[in-house]
């Protein structure tokens, strides 16, 4: 079973939508592997072979292991900021929302990112902050970049614990050499080779018209998606997507939240709260319309529930609860559906989360995309099973 720490889960909450692929070809540096899809993302991100790639799309990334949550994320962000300083301030502001006692340690040192043949100048910022009683250190590298005629910034972020570990060091220090190697091996531009897509996996259990999107050797469940979708089974997360410009995706993961007594409590603490801090705007869909995260939190604190915010389902023969969001980040709108599946005992077996995400250039278009793929989402839920 893949055990995903809550901080890593938090980072993944903030990277909903399109997948990043991983694979191998002749352009891969020795001892490393793909953590991006160059043709889609406009850059090649490579991480050490022993790191686990996260498949979350507009933000690609990887983390060290289930015992060491040190991680990197990378994304190209189009920007019409009048100057670099304005973009840096915006980027810092987003990070500041995720941490308490947030401090800047290094401000804008000039760095070089990329291989020798296509190296580019950028700026390095180092911060520290506290999340869930743990102090983290963050090194963010921002590189001005133009992709497909669009100006913006390549943002590479390294996050790791700054707490003293068993070796009298910190995870941040222990993995920093890997981060430097990642920075040195970035390849900018769409000319790099993308990993070849995997052939659909169909076994004797696979329903007609579907393919297996999970690794039965690493998970206790089977997630099936339509044959027309793209699947990558090389990471600790189970993911698949369809579409390109505005993709539709599904991912599955299991969480082990501590001191949680209900899905509503988990939803408020680990989904609503961090998502509200990160997105420019977040709406919670209920039976009677939309409500704000603040209103949902207040209602939960008063009654232990948020009226009309969830739908009860049966998924894999187990009780499940579905929550809906509408969010906007920059110029992109996201319609997000979280389905929490309780397998037998909540505490003994973990909380399984299936996330469906549709992205578009407007709220109406995001809602329309969710509606257009509703039948596929239903098929995915109906065929989800536990081994």
CATH number of the domain at 6-188, please? 3.40.1000.10
Find all residues with CB under 8 Å of 186, minimum gap 6, and list them. 43, 44, 45, 46, 74, 113, 114, 115, 154, 156
Domain residue ranges in the chain: 6-188, 210-386
In this structure, are strands 134-147 and 150-161 parallel, antiparallel, or unpaired? antiparallel
CATH architecture designation of domain 210-386? 3-Layer(aba) Sandwich (3.40)
Q: Scanning the structure block, which residue is given the tokens 């920075």?
A: 183
Question: 210 - beta bridge partners?
Answer: 226
Find all residues with CB under 8 Å of 255, minimum gap 6, and list them. 4, 6, 9, 266, 270, 350, 351, 353
Find all residues with CB under 8 Å of 279, minimum gap 6, and list them. 327, 328, 329, 334
Find all residues with CB under 8 Å of 77, minimum gap 6, and list them. 152, 153, 154, 155, 330
DSSP assignment string, 136-200: EEEEEEEEEEEETTEEEEEEEEEEEE-SB-TTSSBHHHHTHHHHHHHHHT-EESTTSPPPPPPPP
Phi, psi of 208 (to 5 degrees): -60, 135
How high is the pLDDT of residue 75? 87
Q: Scanning the structure block, which residue is given the tokens 């090389």?
A: 234
- CA 110, CA 170: separation in Å to the nearest integer? 25
**How many CB atoms are closer than 10 A to CB 154?**
24
pTM beyond 0.85: the answer is no
Q: Scanning the structure block, which residue is given the tokens 């990160």?
A: 278
Closest C-alpha to 159, from 139, 175, 179: 139
How high is the pLDDT of residue 198? 57
Cβ atoms of 369 and 248 closer than 8 Å: yes
Structure tokens belonging to residue 10? 């938090």
Structure tokens belonging to residue 350? 């973990």
Enter the DSSP assignment of 320: E
Any alpha helices (H) in 71-161, and if so which ranges?
Answer: 84-98
Cβ atoms of 123 and 156 closer than 8 Å: no
pLDDT tens for the 387 residues of the chain, in order: 333 333 444 444 444 433 333 333 457 899 998 888 776 778 889 999 989 887 554 678 888 987 788 999 998 888 887 766 678 777 777 778 788 898 888 877 889 999 888 889 988 889 999 988 899 999 999 998 888 788 889 999 999 999 988 878 999 999 999 999 999 999 987 544 444 555 677 777 899 999 998 876 667 889 999 999 988 654 445 788 887 667 788 888 777 766 777 888 888 988 898 888 778 899 999 999 999 999 999 999 999 999 899 999 999 988 899 999 999 987 889 999 999 998 765 445 578 899 999 989 999 999 999 999 999 999 999 999 987
How high is the pLDDT of residue 203? 74
Cβ atoms of 35 and 24 closer than 8 Å: no
DSSP assignment string, 57-112: SSSEEEES-SS---EEEEEEEE---SSHHHHHHHHHHHHHHH-EEEEEEEEEEEEE
Radius of gyration in angstroms for the set of CA atoms belonging to the chain, rounded to a whole number: 20
DSSP assignment string, 252-269: EEEE--TT--SHHHHIII
Helices 363-372 and 374-383, interaxial angle, to 10°? 50
How high is the pLDDT of residue 208? 92
Report which secondary-structure segment, H or E, holds 301. Answer: helix 293-303
Enter the DSSP assignment of 343: -
Angle 278-54-276 from CA coordinates, rounded to 5°:
15
- CA 144, CA 253: separation in Å to the nearest integer? 34
Structure tokens belonging to residue 348? 């003994």
Same fold, 6-188 and 210-386: yes
């Amino acid at each position: 079973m893949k055990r995903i720490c809550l901080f890593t889960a938090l980072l993944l909450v903030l990277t909903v939508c399109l997948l990043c692929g991983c694979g191998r070809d002749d352009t891969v540096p020795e001892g490393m592997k793909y953590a991006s899809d160059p043709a889609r993302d406009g850059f090649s991100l490579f991480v050490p072979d022993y790191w686990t790639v996260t498949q979350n799309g507009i933000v690609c990334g990887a983390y060290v292991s289930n015992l060491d949550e040190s991680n990197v994320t990378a994304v190209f962000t189009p920007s019409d900021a009048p100057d670099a300083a304005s973009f840096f301030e915006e980027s810092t502001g987003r990070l500041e929302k995720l941490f308490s006692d947030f401090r800047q340690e290094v401000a804008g040192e000039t760095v070089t990112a990329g291989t020798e043949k296509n190296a580019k100048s950028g700026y390095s910022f180092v911060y520290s902050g506290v999340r869930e009683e743990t102090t983290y250190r963050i090194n963010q590298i921002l590189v001005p970049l133009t992709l497909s005629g669009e100006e913006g910034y390549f943002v590479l972020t390294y996050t790791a614990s700054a707490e003293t570990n068993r070796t009298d060091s910190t995870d941040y220090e222990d993995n920093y050499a890997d981060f430097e190697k990642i920075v040195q091996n970035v390849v900018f531009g769409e000319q790099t080779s993308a990993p070849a897509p995997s052939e659909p996996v169909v076994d004797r259990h696979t329903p007609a018209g579907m393919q297996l999107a999970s690794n039965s050797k690493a998970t206790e469940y089977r997630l099936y998606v339509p044959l027309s979708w793209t699947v990558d089974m090389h990471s600790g997360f189970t993911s698949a997507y369809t579409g390109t410009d505005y993709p539709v995706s599904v991912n599955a993961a299991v969480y082990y939240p501590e001191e949680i007594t209900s899905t509503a409590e988990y939803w408020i603490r680990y989904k609503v709260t961090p998502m509200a801090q990160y997105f420019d705007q977040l709406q919670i869909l209920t039976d009677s319309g939309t409500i704000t995260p603040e209103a949902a939190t207040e209602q939960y604190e008063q009654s232990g529930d948020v009226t009309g915010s969830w739908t009860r389902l049966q998924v894999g023969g187990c009780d499940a609860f579905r929550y809906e969001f509408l969010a906007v980040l920059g110029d992109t709108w996201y319609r997000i559906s979280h389905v929490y599946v309780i397998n037998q005992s909540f505490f003994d077996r973990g909380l399984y989360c299936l996330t469906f995400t549709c992205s578009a250039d407007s709220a109406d278009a995001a809602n329309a995309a969710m509606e257009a793929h509703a039948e596929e989402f239903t098929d995915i839920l109906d065929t989800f099973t536990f081994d």
